[in-house]
Structure 1
Amino acid sequence: MESTGSVGEAPGGPRVLVVGGGIAGLGAAQRLCGHSAFPHLRVLEATARAGGRIRSERCFGGVVEVGAHWIHGPSRGNPVFQLAAEYGLLGEKELSQENQLVETGGHVGLPSVSYASSGASVSLQLVAEMATLFYGLIDQTREFLHAAETPVPSVGEYLKKEIGQHVAGWTEDEETRKLKLAVLNSFFNLECCVSGTHSMDLVALAPFGEYTVLPGLDCTFSKSVHVLCGFIAGLESEFMETLSDEEVLLCLTQVLRRVTGNPRLPAPKSVLRSRWHSAPYTRGSYSYVAVGSTGGDLDLLAQPLPADGAGAQLQILFAGEATHRTFYSTTHGALLSGWREADRLLSLWAPQVQQPRPRL
């Protein structure tokens, strides 16, 4: 979100233009328009819809989320969860105190069933064993946040180094070892989807622990019993965007028939997919802290222009998930960043007015 225009003494109050109708921009606009100090406020959106990377499609007999899919950490500290609860969008389970207190560590839940590419089912015990190893190492990566130095630059390098040491101690037969490595590779791919990256080798190790995980089991809004959701990240996702729907459906059908062992499994009736990389006003999914960067770079992205303390009047302010140091890559981070910039303007122009919402 950029707030620009005449943010100075103008007849009737300052003028504010919010550029971008994503949740950061809309959150900032809503917070400002509730105050008499900002009578001249406009939201400028380049596309035909509001929401940014939050995109809901009504199809397949219900609603499918093509953009923001989960509420990560649905608990009191999450403003998106609070809004969803306020508007009656969640069920009793998601709203329960028990659900809100669960500490997931940011890890994705284990699948109820797993298949190898050959079509054979994979032991859930083996999957759970590899999950314990992988996510235990992920937790270790967060411990380098305040370390003077790190053994390797990236999360991926650290994980592979530690896994290599564990593999050296495995005593199973060769087939079991290969299966374990394949399961670990699937966890790597899943973590790439979580981080929005092509490879965990691109994600910086030192600041990885700065991302804050809120308590609560991730939840979604109700959607259509006959929709199969899939996720893909990195260069493969960019390549998939170049394919036609027919090509994607054909490949998906082949994969599903192979892993289920049912060559007559009906093909999906239709497909709905995102194309965030090629979308002209998006050009990607969400942010991570790359090798060579630190959390301080996110703060730099959030720095208004002219810089604070320069004595000049603020002209441009920035918001969005990539400007939130501890909640980057999330919807709630984007919303909080919009509120942050609105509060910045309120502190300059309406310091005597009570804030409409507590800062989280």
Structure 2
Amino acid sequence: MAMSVNAKVVIVGCGISGIAAAQRLVNAGFQHVQILEATARSGGRVKTGTLGDNIIEIGANWIHGPSEENPVFCLARQYGLLEPDALTPENQAMDVEGHPPWVPNFFSSSGRKLNAEDIYPAQEMFLELMSEGSKFESQGGEPWACVGDFIRSEAEQQAAEKWKDIDAATRCLRLCVISNMLKVECCVNGAHSMDEVGLGAYGLYKTLPGLDCTFPGGYEGLIKNLMSELPSDLVTYNRPVRCVHWNNTEKEENSVMIECDDQKKIATDHVIVTVPLGYLKKHHSTLFSPPLPLHKLHSVERLGFGTSNKIYVEFDSPWWDADCEVIYLVWEDEDGMLDQVPDVQRSWIKKLFGFTVLKPSERYGHVLCGWIAGHESEYMETLSEQEVTHTMTQLIRRFTGNPTVTPRRVLRSQWFHDPWTCGSYSYPGKGCSAQDLENMMEPLPTKGSLLQPLQVLFAGEATHPCYYSTVHGALLTGWREADRLISHYSAISTSEPPKSKL
């Protein structure tokens, strides 16, 4: 349905949700759409970089659940950005429920490669408990406030029953594996600890079928293709927004005034705010005038937003098996099932759960991607590249038992200290519920107000009710808010009386 809409729409942020909203509005016939982007680039948390000659992802890594229901997958396929493997019906039908069946190698802090058979029972128990933990959202009556407490108490009980006949060393090792798995989940959830992830809301997250896949040419290829379909002058870069003045009661033409950092003021009818939740948490009090309504503010506070960083390490030759896809580092002194270290500065590296292996090696050579979340990962960002390289070298030498292994290159992400992001992505915090995600996406002014409706709309991954923390979630929210405006104007145009010919 093409209409010609004269209403002005300003979108704050040129990440994928902002781009998606703009594209939808322009295609529907909105004549005055503008994106204000604080940085010099598009893409937000989709950010591709290089390590030597290799293309690597500094931000978003995978298409999670590449199947027909996933708009990111459909667009990537349309633009020819994926490998044939990712496009097969078998790949799309594989439902891994967020845990891809990667071939693992396990190394221990005493420098030995562990026998996977000794470890599988711990992994299996952990995955069953995680799956059980996601059911409280629909059943209610969760026994603990957070996922961490639930896992620990259940694992302790089950270990005492199921593993009572095995030797103490193996039992201890399995509990250390559970600590490692908790650290994996910290990275998956973008949380400092699973003690900060609410158990009641944990099951809100939904997965899509399909075996996670990557972009051989980099995730930013998707951004470039989407941007190429927008008018070239639609985005203004290096234009941070200082304050959104909404709720304008004076009968002016436009109900919203956007004040930029450079003092420039832009009058508009609607603004779609797509800033990351981390930025919103830090700046909401100055970003909106009047402030956000209390119920919305409480939801911003209850939702979690943490940091998950990557440390890429390149080697001359592999020290892992040829078929290995993920390497887990098991500390043998962590049978307390903890996912945070007592002394961040001295032992931050213990939070790094291990590495994913960049495949195929013909393309990447021998490159690993280390994963680390939480305050330890925030501290890592403050160190020099030299310090990070030194610590990674010591770690790998310790776990492989090989004193000569030396990385060729190291590169890390620093999302916490990025002033426009302030972390990685959202998760449901303790005391969080589906209502909080509803509140996140609710436009201002709220229903029942006599003011001009839809002045401020909200998009971005943290506003999706079940695909939060994903690129497809972010994209869908951009479309959702654009559609909200499109329906608003199509309702107006159908209810207007026909104009007189006189």
Flag whether TM exceeds 0.5 (same fold): yes
**Could you say which residue in structure 1 is the equivalent of 2:212?**
218
**Could you say which residue in structure 2 is the equivalent of 1:6?**
none
**Could you say which residue in structure 2 is the equivalent of 1:42?**
34
SS, match of residue 382 in structure 2: coil
SS, match of residue 252 in structure 1: helix
Tell me which amino acid in the other structure corresponds to 1:163. A
> Residue 148 and residue 228 in structure 1: after superposition, are their counterparts in 2 closer, same or farther (change >3 A)?
closer
Q: Distance in 1 between matches of 2:194 and 2:384?
A: 28
Q: Distance in 1 between matches of 2:457 and 2:389?
A: 43
1:278-326 CA-partner distances (Å, limit 9, x unpaired): 1000001100000011121111111111113424222110000000011
Q: Distance in 2 between matches of 1:336 and 1:12?
A: 22
Instruction: Give the deviation of 1:138 after TM superposition.
Output: 0.7
Q: 1:261 aligns with which of 394, 401, 409?
A: 401
**Structure with higher strand content:** 2
**Could you say which residue in structure 2 is the equivalent of 1:235?**
375
1:116-163 CA-partner distances (Å, limit 9, x unpaired): 011111111123222211111111112112224111111111111110
Instruction: For structure 2, list consecutive stretches of 5 or more residues without a partner in the other structure.
Output: 217-362, 494-502
**Could you say which residue in structure 2 is the equivalent of 1:33?**
26
Tell me which amino acid in the other structure corresponds to 2:437. L
SS, match of residue 113 in structure 1: strand
> Residue 175 and residue 269 in structure 1: after superposition, are their counterparts in 2 closer, same or farther (change >3 A)?
same
1:25-63 CA-partner distances (Å, limit 9, x unpaired): 011011111122x11111110011110111011342131
Q: Distance in 2 between matches of 1:42 and 1:150?
A: 45
**Could you say which residue in structure 1 is the equivalent of 2:185?**
191
For the Cα contact (< 8 Å) 2:140–2:200, is it kept in 1?
Answer: no
**Could you say which residue in structure 2 is the equivalent of 1:312?**
451
1:213-270 CA-partner distances (Å, limit 9, x unpaired): 101111112273332111100111011011010000000011111111211112x232
Give the share of equivalent positions with the same residue, in percent: 47
Equivalences for residues 207-356 of structure 1 within 5 A = 207-222=201-216, 224-266=364-406, 268-313=407-452, 314-350=454-490
Residue 202 (structure 1) aligned with residue 196 (structure 2) = yes
Q: 2:74 aligns with which of 79, 82, 85?
A: 82
For the Cα contact (< 8 Å) 1:64–1:224, is it kept in 2?
Answer: no
Instruction: Give the deviation of 1:183 after TM superposition.
Output: 1.1
Q: Distance in 2 between matches of 1:287 and 1:31?
A: 25
Residue 60 (structure 1) aligned with residue 58 (structure 2) = no
Residue 99 (structure 1) aligned with residue 91 (structure 2) = yes
Q: Distance in 2 between matches of 1:212 and 1:276?
A: 25
Q: 1:181 aligns with which of 172, 175, 184?
A: 175
SS, match of residue 227 in structure 1: strand
For the Cα contact (< 8 Å) 1:60–1:224, is it kept in 2?
Answer: no
For the Cα contact (< 8 Å) 2:118–2:170, is it kept in 1?
Answer: no
For the Cα contact (< 8 Å) 1:147–1:206, is it kept in 2?
Answer: no
Tell me which amino acid in the other structure corresponds to 2:373. A
Instruction: Give the deviation of 1:108 after TM superposition.
Output: 4.1
Q: Distance in 2 between matches of 1:30 and 1:166?
A: 52
Task: Give the superposed CA RMSD.
Answer: 1.7
Instruction: Give the deviation of 1:110 after TM superposition.
Output: 4.2
Q: Distance in 2 between matches of 1:290 and 1:115?
A: 32
> Residue 351 and residue 65 in structure 1: after superposition, are their counterparts in 2 closer, same or farther (change >3 A)?
farther
Q: 2:146 aligns with which of 154, 164, 167?
A: 154
SS, match of residue 206 in structure 2: coil
Instruction: For structure 1, list consecutive stretches of 5 or more residues without a partner in the other structure.
Output: 1-10, 354-360
Q: Distance in 2 between matches of 1:339 and 1:308?
A: 21
Tell me which amino acid in the other structure corresponds to 2:15. G
Q: Distance in 1 between matches of 2:368 and 2:196?
A: 29
Q: Give the TM-score taking structure 2 as reference length.
A: 0.66
SS, match of residue 168 in structure 1: helix
SS, match of residue 287 in structure 1: strand
Equivalences for residues 14-25 of structure 1 within 5 A = 14-25=7-18
Q: Distance in 2 between matches of 1:108 and 1:198?
A: 22
> Residue 108 and residue 198 in structure 1: after superposition, are their counterparts in 2 closer, same or farther (change >3 A)?
farther
Q: Distance in 2 between matches of 1:55 and 1:326?
A: 23
Q: 2:131 aligns with which of 115, 129, 139?
A: 139
Tell me which amino acid in the other structure corresponds to 1:198. H
Q: Count how many residue pairs are aligned between Structure 1 and Structure 2.
A: 341
